């Protein structure tokens, strides 16, 4: 008789289970709340620090400083804390593949939004009247580009999507984060329920699908950055309802379903179909790759 085997067999399964405090700490929704609290603290610390330094630096350097501090602190929080949270430990900002993800995402967004602009121009909804002034391009580049691209992706995909998915599964995470992302833009200038719906479909599917496919934040960050900079600083289209001065001076006109009206082309049927379709393709690719996670309780049942 194998004494070791007999002894192991008689040990109750509960003896191998982690202690209760650790199970609570690793529970997906607890991990999500901890990560959110840490991220909010980092963002607040960056804002307070930049305000404290404002009287001592050139006003033009304030936006780059605040964005740099915000991104730097969020990276620190991700590396020191977030990648160690939850049952499925994972680094969403790996150094390997960072440049490739950012460049691919930015280039993809440039081509996609430029195609949307081209179709709008053919349909008579967009036309260029001259060269733009690129007035205030630094804050636009840093806040609508770098800051929105990094901070919003870390919050919506790196925290909310990640742990909602770990708890309720991939499809729930995709639906919830898409809806929340759309609602987050309801307070923007010139926003409407329809513009929030288009943002939810376009950005929710594109960015959520990019995260599912790569299990990294670099591709969605690149797409988000490239999307905002291309529409605002290149084609002079309002960025989620916020008017900016771009490289060219352009006008949107005609039926708002085609032009998006004052909110910009993000609220147009053109962007809804093209960007939403691209998002569906990314999600389909992720599913084909096996990157769809079952809900927490289903995984528990299957493991028992």
pLDDT in tens, 53-76: 988 888 888 888 999 999 999 999
Q: On the CB side of 190, how many CA atoms lie within 13 Å of its CA?
A: 15
Residue pair 106/181 in contact (Cβ under 8 Å)? The answer is no
With 60 as the cut, is the pLDDT of residue 88 above it?
yes
**Backbone angle region of 86, left / alpha / beta, with phi > 0 → left and psi within -120 to 50 → alpha:** left
Per-residue confidence (pLDDT) for residue 17, from 0 to 100:
72
With 90 as the cut, is the pLDDT of residue 87 above it?
no
Q: CA-CA distance, 226 to 104, in Å (whole number)? A: 10
Per-residue confidence (pLDDT) for residue 8, from 0 to 100:
39
| pTM check: above 0.85 | yes
pLDDT in tens, 13-69: 444 677 888 888 999 999 999 999 999 999 999 999 999 998 888 888 888 899 999
| CA–CA–CA angle 248, 254, 258 (5° rounding) | 85
Q: Is 178 buried (19+), middle (13-18) or exposed (0-12) by CB count in 10 A?
A: buried
- DSSP characters for 158-205? IIIIHHHHHHH-HHHHHHHHHHHHHHHTTTSTT--HHHHHHHHHHHHH
Q: CA-CA distance, 167 to 294, in Å (whole number)? A: 9
Q: How far is CA 86 from CA 82, 152, 154, 237, 255, in A?
A: 8, 21, 16, 40, 48
């Amino acid at each position: 008789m194998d004494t070791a085997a007999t002894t192991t067999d008689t040990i109750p399964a509960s003896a191998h289970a982690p202690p209760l405090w650790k199970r609570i700490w690793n529970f997906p929704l607890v991990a999500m709340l901890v990560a959110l609290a840490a991220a909010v603290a980092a963002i607040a610390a960056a804002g307070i620090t930049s305000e404290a330094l404002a009287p001592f630096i050139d006003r033009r350097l304030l936006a780059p400083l605040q964005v740099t501090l915000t991104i730097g602190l969020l990276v620190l929080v991700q590396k020191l804390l977030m990648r160690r949270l939850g049952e499925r430990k994972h680094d969403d900002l790996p150094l390997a593949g960072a440049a490739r993800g950012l460049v691919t995402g930015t280039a993809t967004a440039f081509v996609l939004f430029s195609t949307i602009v081209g179709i709008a121009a053919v349909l008579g909804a967009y036309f260029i009247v001259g060269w733009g002034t690129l007035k205030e391009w630094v804050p636009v580049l840093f806040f609508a580009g770098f800051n929105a691209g990094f901070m919003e992706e870390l919050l919506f995909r790196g925290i909310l999507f990640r742990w909602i998915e770990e708890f309720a599964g991939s499809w729930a995470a995709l639906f919830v984060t898409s809806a929340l992302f759309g609602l987050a833009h309801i307070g923007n200038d010139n926003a409407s329920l329809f513009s929030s719906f288009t943002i939810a479909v376009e950005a929710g599917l594109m960015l959520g699908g990019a995260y599912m496919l790569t299990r990294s934040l670099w591709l969605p960050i690149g797409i988000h950055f490239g999307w905002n900079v291309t529409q605002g600083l290149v084609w002079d289209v309002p960025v989620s309802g916020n008017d900016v001065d771009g490289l060219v001076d352009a006008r949107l006109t005609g039926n708002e379903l085609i032009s998006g009206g004052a909110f910009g082309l993000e609220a147009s049927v053109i962007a809804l179909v093209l960007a939403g379709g691209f998002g569906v393709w990314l999600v389909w690719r992720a599913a084909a790759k096996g990157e769809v996670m079952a809900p927490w309780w289903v995984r528990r049942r299957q493991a028992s």
